[in-house]
Amino acid sequence: MTTVILAEKPSQARSYVQAFQKSKKKQGYYTVSDPVLPENTLVTYGLGHLVELATPDKYNQKYQQWALSNLPIFPNKYKFIVPTDKKKQFKVVKDLLTKADTIIVATDSDREGENIAWSIMNQAKINLKSKTIKRLWINSLEKDAILDGFKNLKDGWAYYPAYKEAQTRQISDWLVGMNGSPLYTLLLKQSGVRGVYSIGRVQTPTLYMVYQRDRTIKNFKPEPYFELNAEILANQQKFVAKLDPYQRFKDEAGLITFMQAKHVQKGSQAGLIKDVQKQDKKRASPQLFSLSSLQSEINKRYHASASDTLQAVQNLYEAKLLTYPRTDSNYITEQEFNYLVENLNGYLGFLSKDVSLNHQEPNKRYVNGKKVQEHHAIIMTKTVPTQEKLSKFPALEQRIYNLVLRTTLAMFADPYEYEETVIFTSIGDAVFKATGNVPKNQGWRVLFSDYKTEKPEEETTLPLVEVGQSISANITPDQKMTKPPVPFTEGTLITAMKTAGKTLDDEEAQSILKDNEGIGTEATRANVLDVLKKRGYLLTEKNKLHVSQQGITLCKAVELEPLLTSPEMTAKWEKALKQISAKKRTQENFLEQIKKFVEKLIADVPTQLTGSAAIKQQINHQQQAQKVAEVFLETPQVTVINKQKFYIVKPKQGEDFTLPKKWSSKTLGKTAIKALVTKGETSKLKGFKSKKGKSFDAKLKLDGHKLGFDFD
């Protein structure tokens, strides 16, 4: 009887192997033995996705060239292939799975992990019904967690619907991309715009959210408004009070009318303390981190990208210091809470300040097993590194570990306690309100006191006053201007994706997520942003995200098709996909909906683009931008145009000719090209290589329009 453990990648396999008593490395797998394992157990691994969806040209050679006449592309049966560079490892895995009596799926414990494992097993064409299939489901790569997981394996078939959900997401994205991208690219090309315009079920509405924000900011017209404030002097202490109920005035005339009606005048006047309210208040520590909330917070604090944060958390997971990263939960179960309590002293070693961790009973704000579905929040593992060991990690990983540690420990600390004082002051017939806080117990905030924040909280301390006390007030009408919304950052965009475009603060966002599906998944959102940046649609400037000219053209083109741009619609698709793993919807049902959507695009988009004045105007902008971008060099005698693989030299007099971008393995930069087109030759250049690979130095010269070497 042979048991094969299938890991997702080599590093994960090594973590499993290191937890077992004995192991021996072979080509593409390990033999292992341990009391928790059956005899004759092997560990093998994928290289991430060993199996991928085939591109359209693998179905029919006519798809090698994009053509509108080829659309829609709807395969009767979807083909999956093994990339050439992964075939060797796939053969190893296939041979082992074929011989196995029991297969233990030990890829990442999420939908994508199921997709990777079942895709490999299906591609291997083994009779799965003849095998016993088990599932390893763990939250940590620590030795104890791994061994405990192998002692308590789950039924592998119970996770098959999660694989069908992930595969459906994969195929639906393929259908939208492989049809939508050529459709928009070819139609825009007909209008005179070059470039590839990539369409995606999740990436397009994400890009459109940034485009809308950019457009709102650009079109924003600041408007003046007035506020009425009072600077109050009581007991030799000044404080500022605002009109209660708060009111802003569109113009000075409205303000003056209000002041006259309330018998209030500009400048100094007398007033009375109308009421004083004091209340002791408490503020709980922040919720524990899901991946999205951690990505958002790290971007806010350190301007790290979502993908860099995910990679850093993944590295800390593989180093056995943090729990599983791709989680959408902000809660842990009592099991995790108990081990955190046991290890509190070890975690405290990372703190430079003393903090009391008095609350060692579970609090439902953080500990709620009913709200943990697949994975709990990101917390520390039982493995506590030394300061010296942690200092060897990259800076971002150190920062993430410290932030997760402090946020997790905060739930054991006292709440932040303060006394809130509200003073109501009567001036004429108007009432002005001032609020001040006096900290009484910093509680959990001590954990973050040595962290720099962009805007530290200012505590306003108010004087001791009594009801009926006379005061002196100085009334000042303040003119202000309305402000536009702020640009997206990667952190706020990740939050917007998670809340399907609803702009909510983190705390509120977390509370609505169970009722409101976001767009994308915890595992895919960072990748979506990477794709948009890589394709040049999104630009990052000082941590702010903006849409490029090419991205604007794409957004103008798609905005007449609401299903492509609507985060709410994409969120409904995500909800429908999750119904597949819950066995409430079939793969066939969902893919039929996607096909109808694609057919609607193909039918409607050509007319939309030809009839849109906005897209025609943007195409003109894009063409002008392309022309400007193409000018590589401009001199009084010549203009050099930058093409993908060569330069076009356009003399003011004479015929155009071309120059290569590379010559004998050396890239020709602006200095060399300028010398050639103005002087006819360069100075001696280093870095040329002969056909035999030998380096040499030489001048370049132009003989007419022919480029050659000059060794003199």
Tell me the HSE value of 511 on the side-chain side, using a 13 A CA sphere. Answer: 7
Query: Does residue 208 have an active-site annotation?
Result: no
Residue 531: Cβ within 10 Å count: 18
d(CA 402, CA 394): 13
d(CA 71, CA 396): 46
- Say whether the peptide bond before residue 245 is cis (omega within 30 degrees of 0): yes
| Rg, Å, the chain Cα set | 32
Whether the Cβ atoms of residue 270 and residue 473 lie closer than 8 Å to each other: yes
Whether the Cβ atoms of residue 489 and residue 296 lie closer than 8 Å to each other: no
> In the numeric block, which tokens belong to residue 553?
């053209």
Q: Closest by alpha carbon to 322, among 277, 348, 290?
A: 290
Q: Which residues contact 542 (CB under 8 A, 6 or more apart)?
A: none
Q: Closest by alpha carbon to 71, among 150, 187, 171?
A: 187
d(CA 565, CA 63): 27
Residue type, 698: A
Report DSSP state, residue 146.
H
Tokens 């409430």 map to which residue? 584
Report DSSP state, residue 459.
P
Q: Closest by alpha carbon to 432, among 465, 396, 392, 391?
A: 465
Beta strand ranges found along 114-165 (DSSP E): 132-135, 154-155
d(CA 21, CA 401): 30
Distances in Å between the alpha carbon of 479 and those of 244, 250, 476, 482?
18, 10, 10, 10
> Of 159, 208, 317, 324, which is the active-site residue?
324
Tokens 């600077």 map to which residue? 231
- What is the pairing mode between strands 80-81 and 52-53? antiparallel
Task: Show which residues are catalytic.
Answer: 324
